[in-house]
Amino acid sequence: MPIERRPLREQIKDELLERLSRGELDTDQPINEAQMATELGVSRTPLREALIALERAGIILSEKGKGFRIAPMSRQEFRDLTTIVAAMESLALELSDPGHLTSIAPRLLEEARAFSAPQATYEMLERYDDAWHDRLLSGCPNGRLMELIMTLKLTMHRYERLVVGDQEVLERSAVEHERIAERLLAGDVQGAVKDLKSNWESGMKRILERISDQV
Amino acid sequence: MPIERRPLREQIKDELLERLSRGELDTDQPINEAQMATELGVSRTPLREALIALERAGIILSEKGKGFRIAPMSRQEFRDLTTIVAAMESLALELSDPGHLTSIAPRLLEEARAFSAPQATYEMLERYDDAWHDRLLSGCPNGRLMELIMTLKLTMHRYERLVVGDQEVLERSAVEHERIAERLLAGDVQGAVKDLKSNWESGMKRILERISDQV
DNA sequence: ATTAAGAGTTTTGTATACCACATTCCTTCG
DNA sequence: CGAAGGAATGTGGTATACAAAACTCTTAAT
C-alpha cells in the first residue's frame, strides 16, 4: 500500500479543488480559515499554504486584511482562458513529433468514435474529454507547456461543471475529435491544429450558451 | 507617502526574486528556512508562504522532507520557456485592437531607434526590452494572458541575467523591434506577429550561444 | 430614516515554541 | 574501504499568542 508521501498542503489543495468542482464552495465569498481548517481536520498553517498555491493558479483571490476568497467566475474570464488553452494546446500539438502523432492517431479515432455514439453514458463521458486531449498531446516534449496547460484546465473545470448532465456538449466535441484524429492519420498536422482550435472555439460557445444566466 | 500595505509574503517573494536576479542565491542548493528567515528579518511562516508561491511559478522546487531549493537552470528549460512566451506574446498581439496598435506604433518605433543606436548605455538598455514589450502588448484585453506572460518572464529573467553586459544582445533586439513597429505603422498586424516570433527566436539563440558553458 | 461615530468582536497576518519524523552527517566497526 | 548505526540537523505540521485590520452592533446626531 502506498503511504501518503505528499505534503499535507498538496492534499488540502486537491480536496479544495474537489469541493470546488462539486460546487460545494460558495464563489466570491470569504473563506474563514479557522472554520475551514477545523472542517478539514488540519491546522491553519497548511491550509493557508494550500490557499496561497491556489491563489497563484488564479482560483482564489486574497486581499490584505480580508483574507482569501474563491475567485468569482465570469463569462469574460472563461473566454480568456479558453483562448489561451486553445493556443497552448495548438502549440503543444505543433511541437509534437509527427511520427508519434500518426502512431497514436488510430487510438484517438477509436476513442472519439466510441464517445460520439449517442449511447455513451454520462459516467463514460465525464472524464473522456480531458483524457482524449491528454493523449493527443502526450508526445509534446515541452514540459513547461504541459504543466501550464494542466494548471489552466484546473481553473476551467469550474466552468465545465456548470454544464454537466448536458450530453450534447461532449458528444459534439467527440465528433470534432474524430476529425482531428483523421487529420493526424493522414499526416496533416497543420490541419489538425486548425481543427483543434475550432474544437475549443465551438466548445466554448456551446458552454457559454448554457451558462448565460448562472455567472 | 504610500505605506506598505502588501502582505509580508509578497515582499519576501520580491526580495527573493531580486536576490535571484542578482545571482546571490545558489542554484540547485537547499534553502535553510530558519537561516534565511533570520537573514531577512522575518519568521519562517511568511517565508515559507513566499517559497510556496515561487514554487508554483516554477522558480523553486520542493521535495517532502528535503525542503525547498532553487530550481536548476538548463538550456532546455530556457528553450521551452522562450517557445511559450513567444507564442503567448504573439497571441496577445493578435488579440489587441488594431487601432490601438497603430496609435502606439510611432512611440514604439521611436524607442526602438533610440536603443538600437550604438551609443546607448547599459543602464538604458537594462530595462528597455521589457518595457518595450510591455508597451507593445498594452492593448491586449486578455488579462489572464498578460498575467501569465508576466509570470513566465519572471522565470526567464534568471537566464537573461547571464548575459548582462553583453550590449549586442539588446542592440540587435532593438533593431528587430524597429521592424515590428514599422509593420504596425503600416497596419500589418500579422506581419508584426511573425516578426515578433522571430525576435524571440533569435533572442533565444543569441542568449544560448553565450551561456553554453554556464548552465 | 439615514448617516456617523464608537465600542466591542472577529479574523487575519505574523511570530514563536514545540515535536514527530525524514534526512544528513559522523563515527565506529567489520 | 564500505556498511551500519546513531547523533545532529532540518522539515512539515500543530498549537498558541497577539497586533492590526476589518467587521458588527449599538447608539447618537442630523
pLDDT tens digits for A8-21? 999 999 999 999 98
Class of domain B75-210: mainly alpha
Please compute the mean of the pLDDT values over residues B57-73 and round it to a whole number. 96
pLDDT for B98 beyond 70 = yes
**B60: three-class secondary structure by DSSP:** strand
* Element holding A50 (H helix, E strand): helix A44-56
* Element holding B128 (H helix, E strand): helix B128-136
Phi-psi region of B62 (alpha: psi -120 to 50; beta: other; left: phi over 0): beta
pLDDT (tens digit per residue) in A63-83: 999 999 999 999 999 999 999
Cross-chain residue pair B91–A87, CB shorter than 8 Å: yes
Q: pTM of this prediction?
A: 0.92
Closest CB to B49 among A7, A49, A95: A49
Which of A183-192, B116-125, B184-193 shows the lowest mean pLDDT across its residues?
B116-125
* Element holding A62 (H helix, E strand): strand A60-63
Kindly state the cell numbers that stand for A87: 493556443
Nearest-Cα distance to chain B for A17, in Å, is 16
Looking at chain B, the whole-number percentage of residues with pLDDT higher than 90 is 76
> Which nucleotide is closest, CA of A35 to its C1'?
C11
**Residue extent(s) of CATH 1.20.120.530 domains in chain B:** 75-210
Kindly state the cell numbers that stand for B208: 544560448
Question: Are B14 and B21 contacting, i.e. CB atoms less than 8 angstroms apart?
Answer: no
pLDDT (tens digit per residue) in B113-145: 988 776 666 666 668 888 999 999 999 999 999
pLDDT for B1 beyond 50 = no
In angstroms, rounded to a whole number, what is the distance separating the alpha carbons of residues B10 and A75? 29
A24-28, B115-119, B137-141, B204-208: which has the highest mean pLDDT?
B137-141
CB atoms within 10 A of CB A158: 22
pLDDT confidence of residue A97: 97
Evaluate if the CB of B55 falls below 7 Å from strand D.
no
pLDDT (tens digit per residue) in A93-137: 999 999 999 999 999 999 999 887 766 566 666 688 889 999 999
| Residue B59 CA, distance from chain mean position | 13
Please compute the mean of the pLDDT values over residues B8-30 and round it to a whole number. 94
List chain B residues with CB under 8 Å of A84.
88, 91, 142, 144-145, 148
Per the prediction, chain A carries an average pLDDT of 92
Nearest-Cα distance to chain A for B88, in Å, is 8
Please, which residues bridge with residue A67 across strands?
A63
pLDDT confidence of residue B4: 65
**Beta-sheet strands, E only, within chain B:** 60-63, 67-70
pLDDT (tens digit per residue) in A37-59: 999 999 999 999 999 999 999 99
The radius of gyration computed from the CA coordinates of chain A, to the nearest angstrom, equals: 19
Measure, in angstroms, how far nucleotide D18 C1' is from residue A179 CA. Answer: 63
In angstroms, rounded to a whole number, what is the distance separating the alpha carbons of residues B91 and A109? 29
**Residue extent(s) of CATH 1.10.10.10 domains in chain A:** 8-70
Task: Please tell me what DSSP assigns to residue B117.
Answer: S
Task: Please tell me what DSSP assigns to residue A94.
Answer: H
In angstroms, rounded to a whole number, what is the distance separating the alpha carbons of residues A175 and A33? 45
Find cell 506581419 and name the residue: B191
In angstroms, rounded to a whole number, what is the distance separating the alpha carbons of residues A124 and A117? 11
Per the prediction, chain B carries an average pLDDT of 92
pLDDT for B3 beyond 70 = no
Cross-chain residue pair B147–A6, CB shorter than 8 Å: no
CB atoms within 10 A of CB B81: 21
List chain B residues with CB under 8 Å of A88.
84, 87
Query: Treating both helix axes as pointing N-terminal to C-terminal, what angle do B128-136 and B167-185 enclose, rounded to 10 degrees?
Result: 20
CATH architecture of B8-70: Orthogonal Bundle (1.10)
Evaluate if the CB of A127 falls below 7 Å from strand C.
no
Task: Please tell me what DSSP assigns to residue A117.
Answer: S
In angstroms, rounded to a whole number, what is the distance separating the alpha carbons of residues A179 and A183? 6
In degrees, rounded to 5, the angle at the alpha carbon of residue B88 between the alpha carbons of residues B142 and A127 is 80
